[in-house]
Amino acid sequence: MSDAERRDDAPSHFIKDIVRADLAEGRYRGVVTRFPPEPNGYLHIGHAKSICLNFGLAQEFGGRCHLRLDDTNPETESMEYVRAIQEDVRWLGFDWGEHLYFASDYFDRLYEWAVELIKKGKAYVDDLSAEEIRAYRGTLTEPGRESPYRNRSVGENLDLFERMRRGEFPDGSKVLRAKIDMASGNLNLRDPIMYRIKRATHYRTGDAWCIYPTYDWAHGQSDSIEGITHSICTLEFEDHRPLYDWFLDALGVHHPRQIEFARLRLSYTVLSKRKLTLLVQEGRVAGWDDPRMPTIAGLRRRGYTPEAIRDFCSRIGVAKKEGVVDVALLEHCLREDLNRRAERRMAVLRPLRVVIENYPEGRVEELEAVNNPEDASAGTRKVPFSRVLYIERDDFMEDPPRKFFRLAPGREVRLRYAYFVRCTGVVKDADGNVVELRCTYDPATRGGDAPDGRRVKATLHWVSAAHAVDAEVRLYDRLFTDPNPDGIKDDFREALNPHSLEVLTGCKLELSLGNVEPGERYQFERLGYFAADPDTRPGRPVFNRAVTLRDTWAKVRARGS
């Protein structure tokens, strides 16, 4: 984490105001937050917002932030997800120290507390079916009806609840409910369910339990057990807050404050775990870490840096009002970060062979290339130049339109860090396709301008053929073609972009990229920012395009101002 990020000049927001006021009034003595993902999928950029918020508050107020796996639902959770979540939070730059917790570790405590509520006459065992419970619940305009089992005696409830736990009743035949108010204007207070019978093997507790607590029953009590002061969640839990408070008051235990904020929504992106899981399960992407996925693992593989993601989270801010953030802002944050830090290299993605006819055969020159014009300390490197080169196919046109200033028959251009070259001939195959260019070079232009002052209108990147490293390069486009895939009526999958991945093989990289390690990031001059993929093998790089050089966000901003 940079010092600038640590300093408390980070933008303020309403949650910080609440925390500050709570501390000033002595409501809490310190700040303890938590990030509570359910281990039923990989973390995504929306979670990053919550992670930056929760860990950021702890840092700013000198408190701590817990990582809690909210694992009360045995059917969809797994250790793979627990591991991935830890890796991703750490990679983002946050540390929970020894405060790693699992809601499943609280199953005993939650059970005891449920017994306590029964003894206080505040919970009861209900035999109604799930459908009946729904029907009895009423609607926003109609009050609910009380279950015929609502007034069971404390003794009977204690006995039935214990037998539920022992496995005497079939799945779904009974539930434990809080006894609150079936006429409440808030549906969440109409005797919400606390426990269900479900015979499912939990990835941590195995078959020790056949009753599992609901989110509402588990979450606030977990917060209380850990001494959380500020329990921050997304807006859809606003209507649950009275219930959150009711449980804690009924138990008379440490009472955190729940605060809701607007979840991140991003254009051209889905962030629902259910939908992301579908994409993985149906093979629409290569996995959770597919570089097209908005997951932290996918963004990392794509070439995103933790710094860029944290910068993005800081810029979008924290508010109570929902809005859609332009995905171009996320891309902009990456570009800004990599522009500062990524070294430049030359790479030709769609090679066209060029022979410099007046360059001596067998001669090789080492030309000096700047590693990063934004960072003098990055120094320079040597790039080999020889008689046969590759340039980008797009950089030549046999019959160029007026605005095309790159190479064409008879025309002269600069090869970056090398010489002026002029195209003197075109070699074609039997079908008339251009397969090679013949050029001449001007030895007097080495590494700079022409002594006679003549100008060229384009500078091209190139790679020496004899020294080139063969590579695969994967170009990504947005995964969805619609700015709001969640809004598609029938199925968000209809908005999938069939051209979201283009794999180029036979790309030619400059010599210095022969031994890249997965994760290394570069700017390929004129092409964009690229990251070496984990599929890279020694001498066989595989690169992902993280982002192009064209900054649509900066353009939008310029137009707006």
What are the residues binding ligand ATP (CB under 6 A)? Answer: 36-38, 46-47, 49-50, 233-234, 263-264, 271-273
CA 155 remoteness from chain centre: 50
DSSP secondary structure letters along 483-496: S-GGG-SS-GGGGB
49, 68, 174, 273: the catalytic one is 273
Active site residue 537: no
CB of 498 to ligand ATP, least distance (A): 25
CA distance 484 to 270: 8
Tell me whether residue 71 or residue 525 sits nearer to ligand ATP (CB atom): 71
* Residue ranges of E strands in 106-159: 123-126
* Residue ranges of E strands in 30-179: 32-35, 64-69, 100-102, 123-126, 175-178
Report whether 418 contacts 386 (CB < 8 A): no
Report whether 441 contacts 359 (CB < 8 A): yes
Cross-strand bridge partners of residue 426 = 437
Report whether 140 contacts 275 (CB < 8 A): no
16, 34, 38, 344: the catalytic one is 38
CB of 240 to ligand ATP, least distance (A): 12
Tell me whether residue 147 or residue 269 sits nearer to ligand ATP (CB atom): 269
20, 137, 150, 263: the catalytic one is 263
Tell me whether residue 271 or residue 495 sits nearer to ligand ATP (CB atom): 271
Torsion of CA 515, 516, 517, 523, to 10 degrees: 180
* Block residue for tokens 């979201």: 500
243 Cβ contact list (under 8 Å, min separation 6): 178, 180, 186, 188, 189, 192, 216
Residue nearest to ligand ATP (CB): 46
Tell me whether residue 188 or residue 371 sits nearer to ligand ATP (CB atom): 188
CB of 234 to ligand ATP, least distance (A): 4
Tell me whether residue 50 or residue 305 sits nearer to ligand ATP (CB atom): 50
CB of 273 to ligand ATP, least distance (A): 4
**Left, alpha or beta for 206 (phi > 0: left; psi -120 to 50: alpha)?**
left
Active site residue 49: no
Q: Can you list the alpha helix ranges (DSSP code H) found in 326-383?
A: 327-341
Tell me whether residue 273 or residue 478 sits nearer to ligand ATP (CB atom): 273
CB of 275 to ligand ATP, least distance (A): 8
Active site residue 273: yes
Going by C-alpha positions, the residue among 369, 162, 117 that lies closest to residue 253 is 117
Tell me whether residue 10 or residue 250 sits nearer to ligand ATP (CB atom): 10
Tell me whether residue 36 or residue 63 sits nearer to ligand ATP (CB atom): 36
SS3 396: strand
Q: What is the DSSP letter of 239?
A: G
C-alpha separations of 267 from 136, 284, 288, 372, 400 in Å: 40, 19, 19, 32, 37
CB of 38 to ligand ATP, least distance (A): 4
Q: What is the DSSP letter of 339?
A: H
CA distance 231 to 418: 60
Which phi and psi angles does 500 have, rounded to 5°?
Answer: -75, -15
CB of 30 to ligand ATP, least distance (A): 21
CB of 465 to ligand ATP, least distance (A): 48
Mind telling me the catalytic residues? 38, 263, 273
